[in-house]
Amino acid sequence: MNTQVSFLDGTYTLIHIPSPLYASLLQPILRVLLPQAQCVDNDPATAREGPHRHTLNDSQHHAFLNVSVTPLEVSLVCPSKWAQAIFKPALERLPSKEAKTVDLSRDEYLVLSVISAGLDAARRVMELTSPLALAGIPIFFISTYYSDFILVPAKAKDKVIKAFEEKGLHLSGDHGQFVNDCAAGSRTVTPERSTTPPPPESSAEIDVQTRAFDTLTKSSVLPQVMDDLHLVHCSGKELDPITDEVYDTRQTTGRHTNGHKPRKKTWVDTVDPKLYTCLISALVAEPKFISVTLAQGDPPSLLLDKSLLPLFADSIVGDTDNKQVPIFLDLVKLPVEIIGIVCGVAGRLVRDMQMEASAELSYLSTARAGVVILPEEQAGKALDILRPLLKKVE
């Protein structure tokens, strides 16, 4: 496994918001997206100190945050402290009947950051999810522009470590990072794409796929596609590795320079204000689809409805001409603890589309759904595979 895997700091809560309540809860959503002006202290004695208490890590970055607005639901992954301090009070202000439809996960999650090389996207999803599925660990999987992130229950941490150890990845004592036995002396991942064919699936992996599709079929889960919805995968601009600021060619001095001592760097100095203005504009417009991932060490990643591109202008980079088609699996009838869905669906598509270059497959888990994302020309083939498998036999 030519992969770098590490645990991110903190514990996280998964939040499900029904689409009709999006407008009612937009304010707390924006508060977690713009965390420099919020209080996450649950102690009333200290909460009086005001709304500007720190909610970020020492480098003024989100450790991890995902906000996804889809046709099926609104879903967030945010630090558990924020969920308790920001969303719980917001829910208390809603009518009781509406508040009960919003779900904050009972279990807390850990986030694994994964950087892989030598694997196409489809095989990468398989390589990362199969050992966890075989170990009986429920996961949520989020593909971003540069990296992959896996949510695992915090209570299953020991099982996660053991599952990766069996794949040759051992947890280092420092910084929660796994070290590959085959590359113990190297700190980088080789970027070349592997040309070797994937190893044959084990009987256990095939069994995981079979059980996943049996579960989906029994719950009447059918693949859904929106005819007028096409996505693009983009990234925000990178930060300067020295100053931690957005790359900018403008001079930092001007006619009003007064020689005062430089002010202390704040959260807004470490992000691209233009990108955040565009993000807020898109979220306020109640988009059909947008998924934003902010993670420590990565530029912002966006998966968004192609029709939103004019809002972002030059604040994002990426192949904006390539159309991606989302295939939705509504998992609302399934328990959160269900195992093997990501691995099972991705594995079957990789196997059946292998001769047809399914290299661009990516996956987005939301609180109550799964989204398989493929280039437009491959989405039809994927549907031809999934629909017969998920059709109930009368």
Q: What is the DSSP string of 269-281?
A: GGS-HHHHHHHHH
Query: Any residues with CB less than 8 A from the CB of 53 and at least 6 apart, and which?
Result: 38, 39, 40, 41, 46
pTM for the complete prediction? 0.84
Which pLDDT belongs to residue 372? 95
pLDDT at 60: 43
pLDDT band at 322 (very low <50, low <70, confident <90, very high): confident
The 10s digit of each residue's pLDDT in 185-230 is 443 444 444 455 556 667 888 888 899 999 999 999 999 999 899 9
Which segment of 17-21, 102-106, 241-245, 357-361 scores lowest on mean pLDDT? 241-245
Q: How confident is the model at residue 319 (pLDDT cuts 50, 70, 90)?
A: confident
Average the pLDDT over 77-82 and give the result.
94
The maximal CA–CA distance of the chain, rounded, in angstroms, is 79
Report for 7-16, 56-65, 124-133: range of highest mean pLDDT: 7-16
Q: What is the pLDDT of residue 118?
A: 53
Portion of the chain with pLDDT greater than 90, in percent: 51
Both structure tokens of 332: 């609302």
Which string of DSSP letters, residue by residue, matches 66-130? EEEE-SS-EEEEEEHHHIIIIIHHHHHTS-HHHHTT-EE-SS-EEEEEEEE-SS-HHHHHHHHHH
Query: Residue 311: which H helix or E strand, with range?
Result: helix 309-312
Asked: is 3-228+323-389 a CATH 3.30.2130.10 domain? The reply is yes
In a 13 Å sphere around the CA of 179, the CA atoms on its Cβ side amount to 11
Q: In the chain, helix, strand, coil percent, each to 5?
A: 35, 25, 40
Q: Of the segments 121-130, 328-337, 385-394, which one has the largest average pLDDT value? A: 328-337
**Separation between Cα atoms, residue 95 and residue 98, nearest integer Å:** 5
Structure confidence at residue 1 (pLDDT): 55
